[in-house]
Amino acid sequence: MTKYKINKNCTNFKDFLLNIKSHFASNSSTIHKARNELKIINYDGIDTVVKSFKVPHILNQVVYSFFRSTKAKKSYEYSLKLGDFTPQPIGYIEFYSSYLLKESYFISEKFDYDFTIREPLLDDDFKDKEQILKEFAKFTLELHNNNILHQDYSPGNILVKKENSSFTFKVVDINRMKFLKLDIDARLKNFAKLWMKDADLTIVAKEYAKLSNEDKQRCIDKALKYSKNHKNKINMKKRLKGIEVVD
């Protein structure tokens, strides 16, 4: 048994979606493989990114089959809500055996980005770094003003492409989202997982405050506080596990 949905703008991908298991198995263009696996697969002249979700353990097979939306379905539905903030979704498909979820896939068009936000955050001499950070602050404000909270707002999940003299941003890995009105604390706390240097975060928070007509120093102080708290929490977990911490 299968369940699937396809974007009304992408009906020419229906055969691709229905036969995604064979397409995925025969393709070797893996771009990420951990708990889930992502591959770039060209279909009908268009590059797509196909995300294959790990087969859940038996308890979660029951949960995702009867009580909760699958990660593939959430990725698809959230991407429709996000619109231009994320690459265009094509569809998702779920495969069941004995009424229990086994395999699931989410497919979107490939966004030809130049780098992730990680690169300028790690490189003090990155070209146009300050401009990128300020435009990133504007992008994040637009997300927040649209009542969008990406709960895994981390460096690898923010794609950046230079277009003429400005930068375009897209978010990915979107199955953990909230859609709600955000106060200033929730907004500034959203930067914490980016693990920014204080100097970089100050630039971002200052620009965010300027564009949102908030008090600049208040925003900077709050953003730095949430960032420090997050770093301390993660570093403490690492120390408890005996992992060396590099500040």
What is the residue-wise DSSP string for 149-218?
EETT--GGGEEEEEETTEEEEEE---SSEEES---HHHHHHTTGGG---HHHHHHHHHHHHHHHT--HHH
List CB contacts of 38: < 8 A, sequence separation 6 or more: 30, 31, 32, 49, 50, 51, 52
d(CA 235, CA 245) in angstroms, rounded, equals 6
Q: What is the pLDDT of residue 190?
A: 98
Is the CATH number of domain 2-109 3.30.200? yes
Q: What is the pLDDT of residue 237?
A: 83
pLDDT for 41-93, tens place per residue? 999 999 999 999 998 888 888 988 888 899 999 999 999 999 999 999 999 99
Q: Which two tokens stand for residue 226?
A: 């949430």
d(CA 230, CA 154) in angstroms, rounded, equals 12
pLDDT category at 246 given cuts 50, 70, 90 is low
The pTM for the full model equals: 0.91
Q: What is the pLDDT of residue 235?
A: 87
Q: What is the pLDDT of residue 247?
A: 57
Which residues does residue 168 pair with via DSSP β-bridges, in sequence order?
A: 161
Q: Where are the domains of the chain?
A: 2-109, 115-240
d(CA 102, CA 54) in angstroms, rounded, equals 9
Mean pLDDT along residues 183-210: 97
Give the CATH class of 115-240: mainly alpha
Scan for tokens 């966004």, then name that residue.
Answer: 111
